[in-house]
Structure formats: C-alpha cells, structure tokens
A and B are shown apart, each in its own frame.
Chain A
C-alpha cells in the first residue's frame, strides 16, 4: 500500500532564514526609501518644484532605474538577495511589469508584450483599486468634513 511520508519530507525541508531575510529587507527597503526621499528633495532643490510633483518625478525615476536593471539582467540577483526589501517598494511593481514584458517579446508586440505585461502586476492593480474604493467609501461615510 502507498505510505504517507510527509513527516520525513517536512523534517528534511530547511526553513527559510527569517531573521536574515527580515534584516536584509529592512536595510535594503530602508535604503531605497532614503534614496527616494533624497531624490525627491533634490528635485525640489534643483527644479524648485512642489513636493507632490517632485514625488511623482522621483517615482518615475525609480521605475526607470528598475526597468533598466531588469533589462540588463541584474535585478533578479538583487531581488534574490534583498527579498521583500526590493519587492515591496515600487521597484517590485516595476520589475514585475518589465520582466513580464521582456518575456512576452517572442510572441509579438500586442499579444506578447501588451498582453503579458500585467500578468503579475494585474492583481496588484485590481486589489489596489478595490481597496481604495472601500477605504474611500468608509472615509466618505464616516469621516466627512
């Protein structure tokens, strides 16, 4: 009869190093945050911009840098090292779109790149919009000023 060996399998499966992963994610994620803040301040200083405009420009810059790093094939190694540190900031979102776009290239522009670009990022957008809608409704109903 077929036996159940799940115990033996689980015993031999190494647990991820949570402490190391958390520490690296904190440092890398934090560094990306500090870099973004610095960039935003720099734009305000250089171009005499409003904070909101500078923030948008800063996000676009980081997206561009991530897309380039993905295209040159270095972001996946960076992501492997940093885990959530690279995944949670907008770098993760930009990478998921660029990598999917690169992957779709062999199937053509429309049905390849166009169709696969949101393959991973699509659910982020969907649930981003849904949660924004719910929170917006709560704010409208209970905290109108």
Chain B
C-alpha cells in the first residue's frame, strides 16, 4: 500500500488557538485551559443550534485574535460539525468574508481540517488557514439519539457529546510549535452495530492509523511523548491498547484519550466525552499548553470518527470508522 503520511519539513506551524465550551466541560479537570465558557448549554441563545453556532464563532474569532491576526489575514477557513449538511459551520461562515471549505469527518473533523490546512500551507499557496470544528450535546443528541429530556436508560458504554468548539490557525510563519507530519485515515469497519458503543467501534480505525503512521515514518511509538486519541473513551481506549499489543506495540504508558481527559469520573458522562469538539478543545486548549510549557515536546493526536447516521443504524448496517493523525513537535531553538 502507498504511504498516506505526509512530512512537512518545517513548512507548517501552529499559531493561536481558540476554545469555547459549555458548563460541564468547564467544571471538568481541564476547565482552566479553555478560553471561553458559558453558564448553560443555551450559551445566551434562543436554541441549541444557535448556541453551537455561537461556540464555533467564538472559537474561530478567539483563535485569530490569539494569533495576533485580523480576519483579513486569514486566507481560508476549514470547518465542520456533526449536524446535517454541516449547517453549524455553514451558518457561522455568514459572519466571515473568508473563503471557506466545509468538511465532514464526524468526530475526526478536528484533525481532518488541520491536516488539510497543513497540506494547503505546505503547497505554498496559502499563509494562514483556520481549522475549526464544533459539537453540542443537545444538537447531537436530538439528531443521533433521543430528545434530551427522554428518560430511557443509557448503557455504560455510551459516550457524552462535548459541548464546545475549537479552532486553530495553521501558518507558514515559524512559531514554537510545528506540525511535523500527518497521516490520512482509511475507513475501517469492525462489524460493530451498537451506536451506544462507538469507542469500541472506532478503536481499530485508531490503531490502523497509528500503525501506518509509525511504519511510514519508520519510528517507534516512544518517539512521541504522548499519543492522544480523540474520543475512544473508556471502552475504546482499552480496545485500542489490546489491539496495539496484539500487533506488537506497547503504548499504554504513552496513550491518553481526550474523551477521558475532559471529564472527571464523578461527572455523569458514562464512558467519557465524544463529539467533534472533544478532540478539538482538548488538543487546542490542553495539549498545546503542554507543548508550550515544555511538559512534552512531541505528540501525535489521532482524532477518531464514527461515520454513521441513525437511518443506517435502523437499516442494521455496521459502523464505518476513520481516524486522522497529526503530529505536533516543539520547535528546537
């Protein structure tokens, strides 16, 4: 098989990031790392779709401000979300004059947009590109599951969609964090039919991308100080470590999962967080900070996505999954 890992030889850097979250994410262990938060899930808006739009707008705006740039300096915005026809991103873009490409990769959208942005910057056509994504617990619940106040019992394997949005500016100008490489995922279907256990279904996609990344670059897992997956949660993380072990890679010490990092065990989130925003806010809020304060110097972020919709589940289809990886490295002075 041909390689699907791209190495950016000091051509792409991470500039400012912006994150906006709901109350439950603010109360979580990473609460202090987020730029903006709202007291309730309505985010001062009339309905949840508008609330998610506000979160995404906030994240993009903050990322541009934190980069020390103006809207006119941005060449392109890449954004996506979970709601039908990518409407959240599409509607937010009404407020921007910037050229826009909407992208969908379910919960892998964060790294899908960032790796596309990196490729476009690497092509030397663009200088500054915003990669952004959002998800909202209530908009995702009503589209993929049940009404939010529905009282059916949820299983322990279920994940909880993160309310929030994350954005970052990728640039060709040198900063302290570079985007060193990226691996494009392929669709992996491990014959799972349970939409209440997406972590387990996505784990083989994550392991596939990680292994291809390591092989393509001919490196060992401990090249990285941390390998972070997007939203595998409790169940999926265990499955990932088991599969990696079967394939001869020991990554238990290196592995973290955004879905497990963002909430504490005491919060009512079942197996952990999920949704586009999960990987985005943790990477652009927390992981970036870890790089900045030299806690880690090389990290691989693997955003995982379950590419299903409720209609396909009712038709007894299995869940195809994908994972895209982006590697961040602290620039050596």
Identify the A interface with B (CB < 8 A): 2-6, 8-9, 11-14, 16, 21, 70-71, 73, 75-80, 82-84, 86-87, 91-92, 95-96, 98-100, 102-103, 105-106, 116, 119-120
Instruction: Please measure, in the bound complex, the distance between the C-alpha atom of A119 and the C-alpha atom of B143, giving whole angstroms.
Output: 13
CB distance from A70 to the nearest CB of B (A): 5
Decide yes or no: A9 and B149 within 8 Å by CB, A2-B208, A4-B190, A106-B48 being known contacts.
Answer: no
For residue B142, which residues in chain A have a CB less than 8 angstroms away from its CB?
103
CB distance from B155 to the nearest CB of A (A): 6
Whether the Cβ atoms of B151 and A103 lie closer than 8 Å is no
For residue A120, which residues in chain B have a CB less than 8 angstroms away from its CB?
146-147, 150
Whether the Cβ atoms of B235 and A76 lie closer than 8 Å is no
Q: Is B239 at the interface (CB under 8 A from chain A)? A: yes
Decide yes or no: A103 and B148 within 8 Å by CB, A5-B190, A5-B243, A9-B203 being known contacts.
Answer: yes
Decide yes or no: A87 and B151 within 8 Å by CB, A2-B208, A106-B48 being known contacts.
Answer: yes
Whether the Cβ atoms of A8 and B149 lie closer than 8 Å is no
The 10 closest A-B pairs by CB, nearest first: A79-B151, A106-B47, A103-B147, A99-B147, A99-B149, A83-B153, A9-B200, A99-B150, A12-B238, A5-B204
For residue A8, which residues in chain B have a CB less than 8 angstroms away from its CB?
203, 239, 242-243, 246
Instruction: Please measure, in the bound complex, the distance between the C-alpha atom of A84 and the C-alpha atom of B153, giving whole angstroms.
Output: 8
Whether the Cβ atoms of A70 and B149 lie closer than 8 Å is yes
CB distance from A117 to the nearest CB of B (A): 10
**Interchain residue pairs with CB less than 8 A apart (11):** A2-B208, A8-B239, A16-B156, A71-B149, A79-B150, A80-B153, A92-B151, A99-B151, A100-B147, A106-B46, A106-B48
A contact face: mostly helix, strand, loop, or mixed: helix
Residue of B nearest to A107 (CB): B47
- For the A-B complex with A78-B151, A80-B154 known, give 17 more contacts whose Cβ atoms are closer than 8 Å: A5-B203, A5-B243, A8-B203, A8-B246, A12-B238, A13-B197, A13-B200, A14-B156, A16-B156, A70-B151, A75-B149, A79-B150, A80-B153, A86-B151, A98-B149, A99-B147, A99-B148
Q: Is B130 at the interface (CB under 8 A from chain A)? A: no
Instruction: Please measure, in the bound complex, the distance between the C-alpha atom of A3 and the C-alpha atom of B207, giving whole angstroms.
Output: 11
Q: Is B163 at the interface (CB under 8 A from chain A)? A: no
- Interface size of B in residues (CB-CB distance below 8 Å): 35
B 30-49 contacts with A by CB, 8 A: 46-49
CB distance from B220 to the nearest CB of A (A): 21
Instruction: Please measure, in the bound complex, the distance between the C-alpha atom of A103 and the C-alpha atom of B147, giving whole angstroms.
Output: 6
Interface centre among A2, A78, A87, by most chain B C-beta atoms within 10 angstroms, is A2
Whether the Cβ atoms of B151 and A95 lie closer than 8 Å is yes
Q: Is B201 at the interface (CB under 8 A from chain A)? A: yes
Whether the Cβ atoms of B153 and A87 lie closer than 8 Å is yes
Q: Is B248 at the interface (CB under 8 A from chain A)? A: no
CB distance from A29 to the nearest CB of B (A): 13
Cβ-defined partner of B239 (8 Å) among A9, A21, A71: A9
Q: Produce 1/0 per residue, B200-212, CB < 8 A to A.
A: 1101100110000
Decide yes or no: A16 and B155 within 8 Å by CB, A5-B239, A9-B192, A11-B242 being known contacts.
Answer: yes
Instruction: Please measure, in the bound complex, the distance between the C-alpha atom of A79 and the C-alpha atom of B150, giving whole angstroms.
Output: 8
Q: Is B191 at the interface (CB under 8 A from chain A)? A: yes
For residue B200, which residues in chain A have a CB less than 8 angstroms away from its CB?
9, 12-13
Instruction: Please measure, in the bound complex, the distance between the C-alpha atom of A130 and the C-alpha atom of B317, giving whole angstroms.
Output: 28
Q: Is B152 at the interface (CB under 8 A from chain A)? A: yes
Q: Is B283 at the interface (CB under 8 A from chain A)? A: no
Whether the Cβ atoms of B49 and A106 lie closer than 8 Å is yes
Residue of A nearest to B242 (CB): A8
Whether the Cβ atoms of B157 and A75 lie closer than 8 Å is no
Instruction: Please measure, in the bound complex, the distance between the C-alpha atom of A91 and the C-alpha atom of B152, giving whole angstroms.
Output: 11
For residue B190, which residues in chain A have a CB less than 8 angstroms away from its CB?
4-6, 9
Q: Produce 1/0 per residue, B128-156, CB < 8 A to A.
A: 00000000000000100011111111111
Interface centre among B153, B191, B238, by most chain A C-beta atoms within 10 angstroms, is B153
Q: Is B188 at the interface (CB under 8 A from chain A)? A: yes
For residue B151, which residues in chain A have a CB less than 8 angstroms away from its CB?
70, 75-76, 78-80, 86-87, 91-92, 95, 99
